[in-house]
Amino acid sequence: MQPAQDWFLDTDDKIWLVLKSIEDRSEVCVNNKRVKLENDNYDFTQSFVNIHGTQERQLHARLQEENDTGTMDVSAQKGQSGTKYSFRHYNVNEECALMTYEGNGRTECHLYVRNAKLADRQPRGCEKYMTYFAKRNTKFPTAPAK
């Protein structure tokens, strides 16, 4: 397992989606909670709020390494391929991670923060990294920065 994945996903904390590069507001207050992390399999519950109220879904991810970048292939059905996320940047002190995926013909960005650091008011290094690349929609480096 890639170190970024190992460190970031291996927590009992909720992991919150705090910023995304697309304007879609159909789901808000999105957070992920680990159910099981074993070898290259990550099972988690994703909670969110939509027009129907608070919802949950069970998701499964296969963790891999591609071109020195940690990836997770997320789907609702275990063993099936879904959306592939790449870990692009993470910060151990700020407990945040920037992940990208391909959507609508472009690279989209998601910034996740562990619950323990959610209330921090200081600008996050991950956020600066996301802003820089999301505005340019440039090709990301192959290895995550620390």
Each residue of 16-68: pLDDT tens digit?
999 888 888 899 999 999 999 999 999 999 999 999 999 999 999 999 999 88
Domain boundaries, the chain: 3-136
- The CATH number for 3-136, chosen from 3.40.50.720, 2.40.128.20, 3.40.50.2000, 1.10.3720.10, is 2.40.128.20
CA distance 10 to 136: 31
Beta strands 83-91 and 28-38: pairing type?
A: unpaired
pTM of the model: 0.85
CA distance 65 to 4: 11
pLDDT at residue 125, rounded to an integer = 76
Which of 1-5, 32-36, 81-85, 129-133 bottoms out in mean pLDDT, i.e. has the lowest?
1-5
User: Three-state SS for 139?
Assistant: coil
Give phi and psi for 81, each to the nearest 5. Answer: -80, 145
Amino acid, single-letter form, for residue 30 = V
pLDDT at residue 2, rounded to an integer = 47
Q: Is it the case that residue 136 has pLDDT exceeding 90?
A: no
Q: Burial level of 68, CB count in 10 A (0-12/13-18/19+)? A: exposed
How confident is residue 134, by pLDDT bands cut at 50, 70 and 90?
A: low
pLDDT, mean of residues 131-146: 54
Taking only the tens place, the pLDDT of each residue in 87-113 is: 988 888 889 999 999 987 888 899 999
pLDDT, mean of residues 118-134: 75
pLDDT at residue 11, rounded to an integer = 95
